[in-house]
Amino acid sequence: ICWSTRGGWHRPRVQPYGPISLDPAAAVLHYGQEIFEGIKAYRHADGSIHTFRPEQNARRLQRSARRLALPELPVEYFLQSLRELIAVDGDWVPSGEDQSLYLRPFMFAKEAFLGVRPAEKVAYYVIASPAGAYFKGGVQPVTIWLSEDYARAGKGGTGAAKTGGNYAASLLPQAEAYENGCDQVVFLDQDRNVEELGGMNVVFVRKDGTLVTPHSPSILEGITRDSILQLAEDRGHAVERRAVSLDEWREGVASGDIVEVFACGTAAVVTPIGTLKGKGFEDAQPSGTLALELRQQLTDIQYGRAEDTHGWLVRLDG
Ligand code: PMP
């Protein structure tokens, strides 16, 4: 779909996958004016195709659009774009355990000019790619690297928006994590509180059963995290969304008050954190069963094996 200040949203169409042409002066190439989403389509045992809480992704895309001075795509257009893609490419939704079709809606400034201002011509696309199990051979605990020198977002910046620049900022720390034998980076926010991983949110489980998760103005509000926390609340767990300092984390683990630490996001669903490493320390993290139980409960809903009591699924085919 295209958008312009004069014409609004227009020209919705499905076209074969392939390169797109852009003017070398297109604003997105110079100023990074772009946003995106990540969402999956799941095939149920009866063959039907469903997605999970897509209106949440649509609203997050709208919030990202506001921050990046891009036009807000109406929720109904977002849903329609997923349905139309599935209408032609539904056969690409795999069946089987942990298999899905990953959908990537994105919007960028395509107007050609060199001054710095919001573009008046924008394009919105959805592409898709089959996704297998994130972890081969079962869910593996990840080792994470504390990034003390770099942040992915700053106060008043674009951290809460899903925009390429945040991910560009996390590439170098991610390389540092690999060099230190870690899989993922954990970022701190401007107040040196724990924020999130490069592409996942973090949740702590306390001995009394309370789930605690970082809240900050620059965090990317994960839809997986929100869902997992609702499932935990259904089971009677208390949930706290608040600032979590690095000291609270490390001391909580040392004293036994924190009994489980996990990460969650659309790609990996739920992943226990096995080790936290930083400059001069390496803390093994406690492991429990709650993360994997919640993971099972969530995927049972997504794959149609359990009742969708919250009404989270939206059928995309038929
Ligand atoms: N934080 C960041 C920085 C992310 O990129 C993602 C993935 N979208 C998440 C958290 C988790 O969000 P969700 O559960 O909606 O995939």
Q: Could you tell me how far CA 232 lies from the centroid of its own chain?
A: 19
Q: Is residue 318 very low, low, confident or very high in pLDDT (cuts 50, 70, 90)?
A: confident
Shared-domain flag, residues 202 and 272 = yes
Shared-domain flag, residues 22 and 41 = yes
In the numeric block, which tokens belong to residue 260?
A: 């489980």
Higher pLDDT, 205 or 137: 205
Kindly report which listed range (55-64, 131-140, 241-250) carries the lowest average pLDDT score: 131-140
What pLDDT, on the 0 to 100 scale, is given for residue 283?
Answer: 97
| Residue 137 predicted with pLDDT over 80 | no
Shared-domain flag, residues 146 and 113 = no
What pLDDT, on the 0 to 100 scale, is given for residue 135?
Answer: 74
Q: CB of 269 closer than 6 A to ligand 1?
A: no
What pLDDT, on the 0 to 100 scale, is given for residue 253?
Answer: 98
What pLDDT, on the 0 to 100 scale, is given for residue 311?
Answer: 98
At 245-261, the pLDDT tens digits run 999 999 999 999 999 99
Shared-domain flag, residues 188 and 80 = no
Q: CB of 38 closer than 6 A to ligand 1?
A: yes
CA–centroid distance, residue 222 to ligand 1 (Å):
5
Shared-domain flag, residues 154 and 57 = no
Q: What is the dihedral of CA 297, 101, 105, 164, to 10 degrees?
A: 80
Q: State the pTM of this model.
A: 0.96
Judge whether 309 lies within some domain: no
Nearest CA to ligand 1 atom 5: 199
Q: CB of 100 closer than 6 A to ligand 1?
A: no
Average pLDDT over residues 212-236: 97
Shared-domain flag, residues 151 and 280 = yes
Residue range(s) defining the domain that contains residue 95: 2-132
CA–centroid distance, residue 225 to ligand 1 (Å):
9
Atom index in ligand 1 nearest the CA of residue 56 equals 15
Q: ipTM of the assembly?
A: 0.99
Q: Which of 220, 230, 241, 302 to mutate to test the pocket of ligand 1 (most atoms within 8 A of CB)?
A: 220
Judge whether 261 lies within some domain: yes
Average pLDDT over residues 307-314: 98
Q: 192-218: b or e for each residue (b if 16 or more CB lie within 10 Å)? A: ebbbbbbbbbbbbbbeeeebbbbebeb
Shared-domain flag, residues 162 and 248 = yes
Judge whether 299 lies within some domain: no
The residue among 103, 132, 161 that closes a domain is 132
**What is the total count of domains within the chain?**
2
Shared-domain flag, residues 155 and 274 = yes
Shared-domain flag, residues 184 and 264 = yes
The residue among 132, 150, 170 that closes a domain is 132
Q: CB of 199 closer than 6 A to ligand 1?
A: yes
Judge whether 199 lies within some domain: yes
Average pLDDT over residues 224-247: 98
What pLDDT, on the 0 to 100 scale, is given for residue 129?
Answer: 97
Atom index in ligand 1 nearest the CA of residue 152 equals 3
Judge whether 89 lies within some domain: yes
Atom index in ligand 1 nearest the CA of residue 196 equals 1
Judge whether 296 lies within some domain: no
Judge whether 312 lies within some domain: no
CATH number at residue 232: 3.20.10.10
The residue among 79, 112, 132 that closes a domain is 132
What pLDDT, on the 0 to 100 scale, is given for residue 153?
Answer: 85
What mean pLDDT, rounded, does the chain reach? 96
Average pLDDT over residues 114-137: 92
Nearest CA to ligand 1 atom 7: 199
Shared-domain flag, residues 71 and 108 = yes
Q: CB of 224 closer than 6 A to ligand 1?
A: yes
CATH number at residue 14: 3.30.470.10
What pLDDT, on the 0 to 100 scale, is given for residue 97?
Answer: 86
Q: Is residue 139 very low, low, confident or very high in pLDDT (cuts 50, 70, 90)?
A: confident
Shared-domain flag, residues 175 and 258 = yes
Judge whether 95 lies within some domain: yes
| Residue 27 predicted with pLDDT over 90 | yes
Shared-domain flag, residues 93 and 8 = yes
